[in-house]
Amino acid sequence: MRKEAPAMTDSVVVLAYNFPHRKTQDFLFRLFAEGVSVGHVLAADPVKLNVAPSSIRSKLRHGALIEPAKVAKAIGAHYHVVPHQGNQINDLLDAIKPTIGVISGARILKRPVIDRFSTGIINFHPGLIPEVRGLDALFWSIRKDVPLGVTSHLIDHRVDAGRLLERREIPLFTDDTIFDLSERLYETQIDMLVTAIERARTGEWEEINYESTAYNRKMPAEWEAEIVELLPAYLERRTND
């Protein structure tokens, strides 16, 4: 961890987790492979959340993940263990003077952090915004019978809101499982990385109205239990549209 860091106005700053984490690892490797310079990784220690676990599992369990500090070193990025809010990160950002941030792992970011990125911070939401904001986007999309997709956007002080960069629906197949859909949503986020950065840099974004949209909370366990039963009919309708 470096206390002093040079300004790298053309490079990307990645907000990440300071523990082995698939999205952090995959985002850093993809950016490196695509020739996108990552100047700094701001990695936050884990925080215990007061959120009940889902009653059904939708994500694969992974092993053999690489420590994010090791990945950052391999791609030539400065690695900082720092909370994602407070004086420590604010002072660091004042020194870095970042233009674009990319979230590969973070809790809700506050205005003092957001406002220190001159272009903004890009988030990838595994649901279509504004239709499906908030938690459990995969489950809510199925329950609300809306298309499954990923939204890249420049965040603001609201949750899953801000300037829209891209909405991309995923392909569906009648024999898909919850795991198939979850993985495809995840892979689509990675595939959208470079396009999102290019659009942010060139100002190719869209302002949309969020006033009539609701933020989804954690789906109740009794509704979660119905998702697997709802899935076949959902897929049949969506693949025949």
Topology annotation, domain 12-240: Rossmann fold (3.40.50)
pLDDT at 52: 76
pLDDT at 9: 43
pLDDT at 3: 37
β-pairing, 100-103 with 120-125? parallel
Cis peptide before 130 (omega within 30 of 0): yes
pLDDT at 7: 38
Helices of type H across 97-177: 111-114, 137-144
Average pLDDT per 10 consecutive residues for the chain, totaling 241 residues: 42 97 97 97 88 85 94 98 97 97 94 97 97 95 97 92 96 97 98 98 93 88 94 95 75
Q: Which of 130, 138, 127 is nearest to 231 (CA)?
A: 138
Q: Which of 152, 154, 1, 155 is nearest to 68 (CA)?
A: 1
pLDDT tens column, 15-43? 999 999 999 999 999 999 999 999 999 99
Helices of type H across the chain: 22-33, 68-75, 87-96, 111-114, 137-144, 178-191, 193-202, 221-240
pLDDT at 214: 82
